[in-house]
Amino acid sequence: MEAISSGERIRLRRDDAGIGIRMPEGEGFGLRAVPMETPFPSGFGWVGNPQLVMRVPSVAAVDLAELAPPLRHHGALRGGTNVNVVEPTGPGEARIRSWERGVEGETLCCGTGCAVAAAWLARTVGGSTWILHPAGGGAVAVTLRLEEDGTWRELWLSGPVHRIGSARPDPALLGP
């Protein structure tokens, strides 16, 4: 199924994990060199926004409010980056916590952070399917084909979907 978001066509699917969205791919999207030093092994990627991912011994033990802001605002990254910490817990599974720019704090789940984290874990640990457990609970499934150059193909982000409300735009916003 296709939908349009911000004028761009996006692909959706229903699978065992819930509803999936196919993440952008092609020129400019994928893993890149980490542009600065980090205190833990790390990866960096672009999935429509910048994502720094660091592998830590325990996501629960990380003081994200202390660790993330200097990296989020690092001078090597014009506009900053989201900062994600991951802890692999078994084959194809990891815990993740995310500090998002704009929010300037920890969020319960960052979908694009999960996408880049799974791509980096696929590169460094292996596997093409990762189940990530964010701070907000639940699970986010990521499947992908990672290319040698760090780009991905068929990167799908899937998880449960819950309707939390609905909104209707003011008719004046819809134009004549």
Let me know the angle formed at the C-alpha of 122 by 13 and 112, rounded to the nearest 5 degrees.
50
> Does pLDDT of 20 surpass 70?
yes
In a domain, 171, yes or no: no
In a domain, 176, yes or no: no
Strand stretches in 23-146, DSSP E = 30-32, 42-46, 50-55, 82-90, 93-100, 105-107, 129-134, 140-146
DSSP string, 12-51: EEEETTEEEEEPP-STT-EEE---S--SS-EEEEESSSEE
What does the pLDDT read at residue 10?
78
Going by the DSSP 8-state scheme, the letter that residue 170 receives in this structure is: -
Domain enclosing residue 61, as ranges: 2-161
In a domain, 172, yes or no: no
In a domain, 97, yes or no: yes
In a domain, 134, yes or no: yes
Query: Residue 22 maps to which CATH number?
Result: 3.10.310.10
Q: What is the pLDDT of residues 81-117, one digit of tens each?
A: 999 999 999 999 999 999 999 999 999 999 999 999 9
What does the pLDDT read at residue 5?
66
In a domain, 105, yes or no: yes
Q: How many domains does the chain contain in total?
A: 1
Whole-number Å distance between alpha carbons of 40 and 26:
28
What does the pLDDT read at residue 82?
96
What does the pLDDT read at residue 88?
98
In a domain, 169, yes or no: no
Other CB atoms within 10 A of residue 75 CB: 8
Mean pLDDT on 32-45: 95
Mean pLDDT on 111-127: 96
